[in-house]
Structure 1
Amino acid sequence: MRRRTFLTGAAAAAAAATLAETPYATAAERDRAVAASAARAVQPAGTTLEQAAQATGTGAYKRLAAGPGWPLVVRSELAPAGAGRDDRRTGLASFVQFTDLHLADTESPVRFEYLAKYIDSAHRPHEALTVRGAASLVDRVNSLSGGPYTGLPFSLVMATGDNTDNHELVELDWYLTVMSGGAITPGTGDPSRYEGVQNSGSALYWNPESSFQDDYKAAGFPQVPGFLSAAGRPFTATGLRTPWYTTVGNHDDSIEGTLPDLGLLNSLYTGGGKIEGVDDATAAKLADAIQHDPAAAVTLLLTLLEGGGPVRQVTPDARRAPFTPEQFARAHLDPARTGAGPVGHGFTSAAASSGKLYYTFPVAPGVLGVSLDTTNRAGWADGSIGSAQLKWLESVLQTYSTHWYDTDGNVVRRGSQDQLIVLFSHHTSTTMGNTLPDPYHLLDGRHTGTELVALAQRYPNVVAWVNGHTHANLITPHGHAVPERSFWEINTASHVDFPQHARAVEIADNGDGTLSLFTTLLESAAPYATDFGSTTEPNLAALYRELSFNDPYATPAAKIGGSGDHNTELLLAKPF
């Protein structure tokens, strides 16, 4: 978690300028690079190879428009880029990653919006539209015929965690419906009215339907008549036409992705008291407790609800109850949620009984996916991996490898088959330092991202580790003195904070002893232009993107990444 500072108009303008920067000296040079990238592609349309959102205007509040596409950047840190590989290339796999959708019940009593200036994710002005934003991202994937560089149809979509914002049953229901298709009413409590902070009349929040000059409107945010009622009205999600899988994240596991869920706040989740604001001293104290002393945070929350702070009465709703890991898996097995398949979306009846949320699945012929559970039920935002799961992972790697390296660097030849392996998790290698004992499995040790990298580097057929959590685009090479022991870590920005990206990943054999991993960023199907007088479905999806860019506590320039983290060709030595 980070403290966020309300951006001034000048700071927002600087952030917008940063987003427009490229590593090219002139616009003409950039345009030539974009054209060359498109020429190498089979089907660049509908991706950020074709166009990407760009901020416009000089005011504090920025509008978005279609900007130029982002060129392909060839990264050869781990293997050379051989000439003529485009002509020899054979596509092996093509899939899409969603991450950090954060579908949010904004009317829930267990939210800490009043801590926004202390905690990064406490409140976002656009969060009432998370469900519609995710549905628009699904529509984008459905509109694409396949990977832009191999042309292979997407075999699957993997959502790498934080699919819900506060691990509520109703948020899980929305996520499963967005992915599989069906009718959704993205609201809780009284269906006839909005009962969250954005009609509270407090200057701390954007009150979109009111002319009241809150802090957000002072920073240029508009008045949008009918916004809240439109955000909560029923709509029908198309659902993915591609099979999809789920990886669990910390927001799918703990209170606001941070506090351990030990069942102490269940009555608060489903009850009728919602704290809408506290004084600065109390806010600072609670923010500190959430980050450093969970027990004190729970005690303080209960005290506030008993009369220590302004509590709004909202309509109780049993659907807000938090879910367990077992319930998470069981919900995926509901036949009504099968959609394009597969049944369970990676989870089995055994997972629904045990709560073990890690599994393997086929990405393509000869390519195996491994979905890991890197959450720690002791709480905190960052994660780790349990000893039992780490042992299971090594057994999987050995099953699908004909050779690997022991901890001393000696080659072990024992397996009977080789498959390329892609790891999926919520957390990244640098956000897996939370080794607090799991309160539900106290005897199971915890292991860091550094340990997971070391294990992966012992198995040459691990080619990529795909993850989220940071809400930022970042691609990291994990090199080794033995080239076949190297792999790429592909971290993708969230779909709740700008730039709201998903990523297409393609694996290709170059026919010269190397592999290429193509990573292409995708935006939702929403138009760029917005209309403050409209609440049509396309305009709500467009507002979701534009409001996220203007979120005064956000840092879009830090999230978007550099050109080498966007549309890339990642070279790698072929392991077999």
Structure 2
Amino acid sequence: MGGISRRRLVAGMAGAGAGVALWPGRAAARERALTRSAERAVRIGGTTLEQVAMPVGDGAYKRLVAGPGWPLVVRGELAGADGGRDARRAGLASFVQFTDLHLTDTESPVRFEYLARFNDSAHRPQETLTVRGASSLVERVNAVRQGPYTGLPFSFVMATGDNTDNHERIELDWYLTVMSGGRITPNSGDPGRYEGVQNSGSGMYWNPESGLQDAYKAKGLPLIPGLLSSAIRPFDAPGLSVPWYTTVGNHDDSIEGSLPDLGLLNDLYTGARKVEGCDDATARQLADALLHDPGEAVLLLGKLLAGGGALRTVTPDERRHPFTPAEFARAHLDPAHTGAGPVGHGFSQESADSGRLYYTFDLADNVLGISLDTTNRAGFADGSLGTAQLHWLESVLKANSGHWYDGDGHVVRGGSQSRLVVVFSHHTSGTMGNLLPDPYRLFEGRHSGAELVALLQRFPNVVAWVNGHTHTNQIIPHGHSIPERAFWEINTASHVDYPHHARIIEIADNHDGTLSLFTTLIESAAPYRTDFADTSDPGLAALYRELAYNDPYATPATRIGTAADHNTELLLTRPATT
């Protein structure tokens, strides 16, 4: 590395993506890294190894163009990187992670758009285009088809939660159709027109079809005639050409991912009254209550509906009715949504009967996938695990491990069967501190992310924990001190907030006592350049990405992560039992 430390190299690569020169010769070093990354790959087409969206221009509104790709960063915190491993490598698994699609019914009465100035996730200028953006991501996976470093075809796609934005039946139908293919009309209420905040005439929101000088246009967002009518236009989603699975997230089982759904607001969901505004003091109070006091949030919402806020009449729609966990599983079992399979996409008839949304599946030969339900229906965005699920997970790990460690660190010998294990969840190790009792299982204990990490580290064959929720790219090593008990936590940014990434993950045996986990980010198939007059399906998908970058309340630079969280080779000691 010419005397440059790994830490400095990683920082430099991150800075290169942001256009910041951190050391002399940065451009040349970056070019060498990109060249070496491409040489080591089977192919890089369609990935961020090839090219990445890049903002240009001096104005408040930034246009996006295709910029240079991001290089591969080798991370050796958990195992050393011996030379010659490319020639010895054998691929074991190749798959794709989607996360935080947030397919959004923007016309729903149960939304908090008027809180955007205090909580950027309450409203996004690109929200009417979530369904088309997700379908364009599916197109990208169908085109790339294989892992760039092993060349193995993708065996499946896993969507790690927040597949819907407000756990409405219509949003779930859109998600299932995006994944399996079919005709979609991304509109609710009146089938002939848009009825949401973006044609409200309120200066609080971006009114893209109006000449109104609203708060968003003041920050550079453009006038785009015909955008809303085009956004709700029916289109044909191709669906994934590979099998897919679903993990549940907090937005899939609670009100806006924050309030417990006890059935008290069902009439509001399907009714005709939509709050579109309130004074700053009330908005600030409600935004705080959504984070800290769900009970107070419900009371404040009631006051707004009683006349304390700006109300709009919208067309009622029964399809906005929220779904239960059992209904979530049942919808996946519908033959109309089987697509490339498997039937149920991880959920079984038992899932539909019980509402239990955690399961196992065969990820690849000799590799087990485990999908967890880390949501807590007591409310708040963060999650935890119930005791029953934690015990179930421990039993699954024991049944698939040749040996493990007990709570005192002693080795326990198991059966002869041992498989590598990849765990999937919505929440991360740092966002599982919500230990409130689940209102549907009041007497069951709840367990934190730290407890889950401790459990996973007892099993040497656990190689990765893949998750979402934070809307940020971040990869964390666990278990530096004991290589056999180490694993990687791979957290991927959302597909509703910029940078709109999904992630290819490949597992390879280097035949030198180590495994490599390659993580490669991909963007949707939408063109990088936008044309405000182009309201075709690709044109709308391109706008979706660019508008997300220009959301005045969002922070895209922090969500992108560093180079060490992008395209990586994560080295790990190979478990002795495999």
TM-score by length of 2: 0.96
> Displacement of 1:17 after TM fit?
9.3
C-alpha separation in 2, matches of 1:284 and 1:491? 30
Q: Which residue matches 1:10?
A: none
> Displacement of 1:82 after TM fit?
0.8
Q: Alpha carbons of 1:499 and 1:133: their partners in 2 closer, same or farther (altered >3 Å)?
A: same
C-alpha separation in 1, matches of 2:16 and 2:87? 38
Give CA-to-partner distance per residue, 1:19-43, whole Å, 9 cap, x none: 3347674222211110110000001
Q: Which residue matches 2:248?
A: 248
Show the 5 A alignment for 1:462-501.
462-501=462-501
Show the 5 A alignment for 1:213-362.
213-362=213-362
> Displacement of 1:297 after TM fit?
1.5
Q: Which residue matches 1:392?
A: 392
> Displacement of 1:534 after TM fit?
1.6
C-alpha separation in 2, matches of 1:132 and 1:507? 31
The answer to whether the Cα contact below 8 Å between 2:15 and 2:22 also exists between their aligned partners in 1 is no
Q: Does 1:141 align with 2:141?
A: yes
Q: Alpha carbons of 1:485 and 1:16: their partners in 2 closer, same or farther (altered >3 Å)?
A: closer
Instruction: Give structure 2 stretches of 5+ with no counterpart.
Output: 1-13
**One-letter code aligned to 1:80:** G
C-alpha separation in 1, matches of 2:63 and 2:402? 54
**One-letter code aligned to 1:456:** L
Give CA-to-partner distance per residue, 1:488-513, whole Å, 9 cap, x none: 00000000000000000000000000
C-alpha separation in 1, matches of 2:17 and 2:46? 24
The answer to whether the Cα contact below 8 Å between 1:23 and 1:563 also exists between their aligned partners in 2 is no
C-alpha separation in 1, matches of 2:76 and 2:496? 31
Give CA-to-partner distance per residue, 1:464-483, whole Å, 9 cap, x none: 00000000000000024321
The answer to whether the Cα contact below 8 Å between 1:22 and 1:30 also exists between their aligned partners in 2 is no
**One-letter code aligned to 1:19:** A
SS class of match (1:336): helix
> Displacement of 1:289 after TM fit?
2.0
Identity between Structure 1 and Structure 2 (%): 73
SS class of match (1:193): coil
Q: Which residue matches 1:123?
A: 123
Q: Which residue matches 2:40?
A: 40
Show the 5 A alignment for 1:553-564.
553-564=553-564
The answer to whether the Cα contact below 8 Å between 2:16 and 2:30 also exists between their aligned partners in 1 is no
C-alpha separation in 1, matches of 2:446 and 2:388? 9
The answer to whether the Cα contact below 8 Å between 1:399 and 1:416 also exists between their aligned partners in 2 is no
**One-letter code aligned to 2:18:** L
Give CA-to-partner distance per residue, 1:318-357, whole Å, 9 cap, x none: 0001100000000000000000000000000000010100
C-alpha separation in 2, matches of 1:17 and 1:134? 28
Q: Alpha carbons of 1:63 and 1:340: their partners in 2 closer, same or farther (altered >3 Å)?
A: same
C-alpha separation in 1, matches of 2:68 and 2:406? 48
> Displacement of 1:298 after TM fit?
1.3
Q: Alpha carbons of 1:301 and 1:17: their partners in 2 closer, same or farther (altered >3 Å)?
A: farther
C-alpha separation in 2, matches of 1:21 and 1:247? 37
C-alpha separation in 1, matches of 2:222 and 2:21? 30
SS class of match (1:497): coil
C-alpha separation in 1, matches of 2:384 and 2:356? 15
Q: Which residue matches 2:7?
A: none
The answer to whether the Cα contact below 8 Å between 1:93 and 1:155 also exists between their aligned partners in 2 is yes
**One-letter code aligned to 1:79:** A
Q: How many residues align?
A: 562
Q: Does 1:163 align with 2:196?
A: no
> Displacement of 1:83 after TM fit?
0.8
Show the 5 A alignment for 1:437-452.
437-452=437-452
> Displacement of 1:288 after TM fit?
2.0
C-alpha separation in 1, matches of 2:291 and 2:453? 27
Q: Which residue matches 1:20?
A: 19
> Displacement of 1:18 after TM fit?
7.1
Q: Which residue matches 2:11?
A: none
SS class of match (2:65): strand
Q: Which residue matches 2:9?
A: none
Q: Which residue matches 1:366?
A: 366
**One-letter code aligned to 1:288:** D
Q: Alpha carbons of 1:192 and 1:243: their partners in 2 closer, same or farther (altered >3 Å)?
A: same
Give CA-to-partner distance per residue, 1:417-473, whole Å, 9 cap, x none: 010000000000000000000000011100000000000000000000000000000
C-alpha separation in 1, matches of 2:218 and 2:159? 36
Q: Does 1:180 align with 2:180?
A: yes
Q: Which residue matches 1:6?
A: none
> Displacement of 1:310 after TM fit?
1.4
SS class of match (1:121): helix
Deviates more, 1:527-536 or 1:475-484: 475-484
